[in-house]
Chain A
């Protein structure tokens, strides 16, 4: 406040004579904080916490949304049923393959693109903007369009494979290729995300470090390994964590692209919850399932936020 610049700044914006000193200033600070924060918190309580508590309650019952009627308490029955189900283990494995596969691919690709762009002097802005397009599209649009392109008969992918003299692939109707297709499409949509974050990290590396290294005649690889990577790594890790959380929750792309099939080969945990809840109408079981998934997400997001805090402090 003693800074004269600030006071004149504020003074210039002020229009007209200042009003009389507020009588409730002390009181209003507290009141304002409550008045400004509570509506937001109330909406979140009503739309997130209350439903979640309801789900928690239902997870201990045998309630079914179609049957209606009374919900009978079954203790941890739903939870033990889920945790010991071979079906669920299978879905967990599918989810793991998908999350690890997709996130690894997008990290490698995204970082590569970011690195290549950061070495260009011209057209960086244009390139970055172009690469970001897939990320902005709705999963519905992305899913539909890849479904069209991957079509076994008239899809453009098979058409191109054909003109290269390669065989046709039934992308979405064979068990193994369907999961690969899912990973490819997710990678296509979210590589830009990793690229964006990595690019931000790369452009933030101080130039003098490279100058010092080139005076020491350090090799390109040495500079990359000892300067670039360690400095970009923390930010990249955050991007990876964030993507892992998102991929774990993924539902819409599976729904549009493969609908879990063929068989159950692309049925992730998210998709299985939907089937239990909306096709099987075992609301109690689905709720227990959901609570378990939320626990996983909470653990992941805790790690995410911890890294964030460390990054902000460092």
Chain B
């Protein structure tokens, strides 16, 4: 079955079956459909807009009853509070953001470094029990994180990886590896192995053939896969909250969640932190929009 994401997310006019349908169905129906779509879009986007709006409201407007949709004073104070602490130095949140950048970046690099060669090997060679191995790899990704975190917690405590960035990097890399292998295998399968055969006839070794001919063609695929791994690690919460405790190690999701711990919650700050935290993800998601289906189904469903 052909499933093209390019078509699904294609911009511009697509003269499709919508045309004859509309001619037959008439105007009223089409208007009704547009109205329904608009209502659904508003409902789906309202929470996001409300989050952005709250992040630029002054506190008294945030808690106004009834809620104020327009005509409030715009302030950037909450965004300032996200980055600058009360004492004028760096805030805990900004430290957490930096930790997130480091942990997500390093774990993605590790997963890519281990996953891409493995995907190539699975695609090109007759590996023993290949299907079983691939199923095993994917199945590790389906484990409930809250279940896995119990033994990981004990193991980390034993080897001194608890409350370290390295510990998070390792678990995120392992968490992203199945996805990287499955998605990359799809990309490698699309590059004809004849390229490598031809190069080997010219006297290159298998490894040289891979490096010189296949790898360059895989770069866009690697980039897309890495961005997905980055998004997963960036958003991850369960491992982050149970395997870290100190402010200097904690990543952003538990740090943002920690803002609601007290009796009064500074929702303006929560909103601003959420907006700052969500921006890179939305940007990345836009970059990989063509690969979304492969990405969200762990690479199992492609085109």
* Least CB distance, A126 to chain B, in whole angstroms: 7
* Least CB distance, A69 to chain B, in whole angstroms: 14
Known: A48-B148, A113-B37, A305-B138. A238 touches B253 (CB 8 A): no
Known: A44-B174, A133-B282, A294-B144. A54 touches B274 (CB 8 A): no
Bound together, the chains give a CA A204 to CA B208 distance in angstroms of 38
* Least CB distance, A190 to chain B, in whole angstroms: 10
* Least CB distance, A247 to chain B, in whole angstroms: 11
Known: A47-B170, A51-B152, A137-B278. A37 touches B121 (CB 8 A): yes
B300: chain A residues at CB < 8 Å are 305, 308
CB under 8 Å from chain A, chain B span 171-196 = 171, 173-175, 177-178, 181, 192, 194-195
Decide: A297 and B4 in contact? CB cutoff 8 A.
no
Bound together, the chains give a CA A6 to CA B104 distance in angstroms of 39
Bound together, the chains give a CA A85 to CA B293 distance in angstroms of 40
Decide: B293 and A52 in contact? CB cutoff 8 A.
no
Bound together, the chains give a CA A255 to CA B188 distance in angstroms of 39
A83: chain B residues at CB < 8 Å are none
CB under 8 Å from chain A, chain B span 7-54 = 7-22, 24-25, 33-34, 36-37, 40-41, 44-45, 47-48, 50-51, 54
Q: Which of B1, B155, B173 contacts A43 (CB 8 A)?
A: B173
Q: Which of B22, B24, B146 contacts A251 (CB 8 A)?
A: B146
Known: A44-B178, A200-B4, A238-B297. A9 touches B195 (CB 8 A): yes
Decide: B19 and A199 in contact? CB cutoff 8 A.
no
By DSSP majority rule, is chain B's interface helix, strand, loop, or mixed? helix
Q: Which of B41, B138, B155 contacts A127 (CB 8 A)?
A: B41
Binds A, one of B71-79, B80-88, B218-226, B284-292: B284-292
Known: A40-B114, A119-B33, A120-B33. 19 other contacts (CB 8 A): A39-B114, A40-B117, A43-B114, A47-B152, A55-B147, A118-B16, A121-B16, A121-B18, A130-B41, A133-B48, A137-B281, A141-B51, A145-B270, A149-B50, A242-B297, A249-B143, A273-B144, A290-B144, A297-B142
Q: List 25 A-B contacts (CB under 8 A).
A: A6-B192, A10-B199, A14-B212, A19-B203, A25-B205, A43-B173, A44-B140, A49-B140, A119-B22, A119-B33, A126-B11, A128-B9, A133-B44, A143-B257, A147-B260, A154-B64, A159-B66, A163-B66, A196-B292, A204-B4, A238-B297, A245-B142, A255-B237, A270-B144, A289-B147
